[in-house]
Amino acid sequence: MIETLRSIELWQNLKRNGILGRKSLGFVPTMGALHEGHLSLVRKSKAENELTLVSIFVNPTQFDQVQDLDKYPRTIEQDQVLLEKAGVDYLLLPDYKSMYPDEYLFKVEEKNLSRDLCGEFRPGHFQGMLTVVLKLLQIADADNAYFGEKDYQQYLLVKKMAQAFFFKTQIVPCPTIRDHDGLALSSRNTLLDKAQRKLATQFPLHLQSKSTPAEITSALVRLGFVVDYITDKETDSGVRRFGAVRLGVVRLIDNVKI
């Protein structure tokens, strides 16, 4: 049965008092509104570790627009049921005051990769993301932490940050999980209306095509998307095509290896 902890101190006490023993620990940090993508991370953690910790915290510092934060789906009761069924051992539910006792005076900044792609279009996003992930990695003190490749830029930044600050925690990438029609699973997909949801399938379809980034951009604009970027980048795993588009107020990101 899952044990829900509503304070950081309770989790730290478990670790400090040796209640977890010497068992290996996997960690899955989330912002809730869980879907199959999150659950795939949980399953990988359970397969590779003796215990699994999941956190749910909607981090306000990584939202560059207040309305995006306000509209972000919150389904905590449903999330708890899914995690219970998945066999998660511990669920951490910290609040803002405990996560930011300094009122966000101290921030983590990366000056290279974070300024490209989404960093260009979402000022402050990666600073907020890296700050909260550093805090969560410190709190969890896990052997392994799991991140989806849908946000590959985020994964790379977290991986490089963990290496730079000598965390023992290994940052483990997990494949993007897609819906039956190819759209990458995202909590924000629930904010799309029926027509937008149908149109959204054109995004991964074009991203995976043999067209050039410029051709894909033109095609998506003609279909009604607002395109932030479509571009090919060399990464640690080879060349990937990255894309970010908007349908109404909903921003969608994706990437594919090419």
Tell me how far apart the alpha carbons of residues 257 and 176 are, in angstroms, rounded to a whole number: 11
What type of residue is 131? T
Reply yes or no on whether 206 is catalytic. no
* Helix-helix angle 36-48:76-86, to 10 degrees: 40
Report yes or no: 134 and 99 within 8 Å, Cβ to Cβ: no
Element (H, E) at 44: helix 36-48
For the stretch 176-215, what's the b/e string if a residue is b when 16 or more beta carbons lie within 10 angstroms of its beta carbon? bbebeeebbbbbbbebbeeebbebbebbbebbeeeeebee
| Distance in Å from the first CA to the final CA of the chain | 42
From the list 35, 38, 125, 206, the catalytic residue is 38
Taking CA atoms, 75 is separated from 79, 136, 236, in Å, by 6, 21, 35
Report yes or no: 251 and 245 within 8 Å, Cβ to Cβ: yes
Q: Which residues are catalytic?
A: 38
